[in-house]
Amino acid sequence: MTKKEYNSGEKVEYSCFNKYTLDQHDPYSKYMTCEQGQWRGYIKCLRSCFVTVEEMDKRGIQLKWGEQENIFPPHEGKISFECQKGKHVNGNDLRQTCNDGVMNLPQCV
């Protein structure tokens, strides 16, 4: 619920759109505070990752658990992959973490 005017000291709580994660590490918060007519505080929404079946096939990997499908791991979400049958990992860790929309996928050859 929003208002037209806020008094000094009042806070507003923010949330992010679907598939985004609200960063609450310092200096970020889920609140903005009205201080003498100015909004103070820092809000940041972090993107989820998007990994397609086609990308996994190109890299010779598959999900370690569950069916092969497009996935949307959230920020800081960890995903375990495995090499497709007959392929071997090429130097990368098979467990990866989403970082603000970026996930470095392993390669199996």
Q: What is the pLDDT of residues 76-107, one digit of tens each?
A: 999 999 999 999 998 778 999 999 999 999 99
pLDDT at residue number 91 = 77
Q: What is the pLDDT of residues 19-78, one digit of tens each?
A: 999 999 999 999 999 999 999 999 999 999 999 999 999 999 999 998 889 999 999 999
Say if CB 27 and CB 81 are below 8 A apart.
no
Confidence of residue 1 (pLDDT cuts 50, 70, 90): low
What integer best gives the mean pLDDT of the chain? 94
3/63 Cα distance (integer angstroms): 46
Q: Give the amino acid at 52.
A: T
Percent helix / strand / coil, the chain, rounded to 5: 5, 30, 60
**Measured between alpha carbons, how far is residue 103 from residues 13, 20, 61, 86 in Å?**
29, 15, 14, 24
- pTM (predicted TM-score): 0.80
